[in-house]
Structure 1
Amino acid sequence: MLESPDYIVRGYGSDNRIVYGTGAVTPTGRIAARAQDLLARPEIDYVHVRSARNNCYQCRIERG
């Protein structure tokens, strides 16, 4: 993981649905900052990191 130059980082709500408008292709080095920004929003419960090429799930980031 994290060998690609970029990934999709997207927020999800407590209903396990995408919070529309949160998905963005993000450079690998900016994933942590992007996730932190998304998790600061009260409507976002967790973040998925997915392949920017074929949308395969890579990992989930939660508040900790």
Structure 2
Amino acid sequence: MAIKFTPIPTTTAESWRNGGTDAHGQKPERRISDGRAPCRHCLKNVPEGDAVLLGAYKPFDAAGAFTETGPIFICEKPCKRFQGGTNEVPPVIAQRDQFLIRGYSADEKIDYRTGQIAKVSDLVSQAEKIFALEDVSFIHVRSAAYSCFTTRIDRAR
């Protein structure tokens, strides 16, 4: 099975850059990157000294008990949305050791059979195992230390 990593929508990144509000109705906070701020749009670390926007993001369509909202960074300057190939691990993931991953159903409920800390070297194979469960519609990749949303994994079409 083939997978693809799906970053946040360009419309979200552009909205934040153009003065729009985050998931809590607040304007994103401007900060300076220490070189390790992971942009959730280009899926690269924002270079040290460059400006980043920090805001609340909800990577779900609906509201409910499982629809977590949390902090994410994006490049303040326009960046190209990650368009990796099949099974291509984005730079921001490849540069770290491990992530929390978990699968969700089409109605955005956590599948409790899927949650785990996965080493980056095992991420693609673990995602393929999770997608073998037919009830799983998508997977979230989250920071292992802070549980912040990093990106989504979908089945490649």
TM-score > 0.5, shorter chain as reference: yes
Task: Provide structure 2 residue ranges, at least 5 long, that are not aligned to the other structure.
Answer: 1-91
Tell me the equivalent position of 1:40: 132
- Relative to the length of structure 1, the TM-score reads 0.92
Task: Provide structure 1 residue ranges, at least 5 long, that are not aligned to the other structure.
Answer: none
Moved over 4 A (4+): none
Tell me the equivalent position of 1:53: 145
Tell me the SS of whatever aligns to 1:48: strand
Task: Give CA deviations for 1:16-60 in whole Å, capped at 9, x if unaligned.
Answer: 111113110000111110111111110100111110000011111
CA RMSD of aligned residues (A): 0.9
Tell me the equivalent position of 1:17: 109
Amino acid at match of 1:44: V
Tell me the SS of whatever aligns to 1:19: coil
Amino acid at match of 1:55: S
Tell me the SS of whatever aligns to 2:134: coil
Higher RCO, 1 vs 2 (CA within 8 Å, ≥6 residues apart): 1
Q: Distance in 2 between matches of 1:28 and 1:63?
A: 18
Radius of gyration: which is bigger?
2
Q: Distance in 2 between matches of 1:42 and 1:52?
A: 25
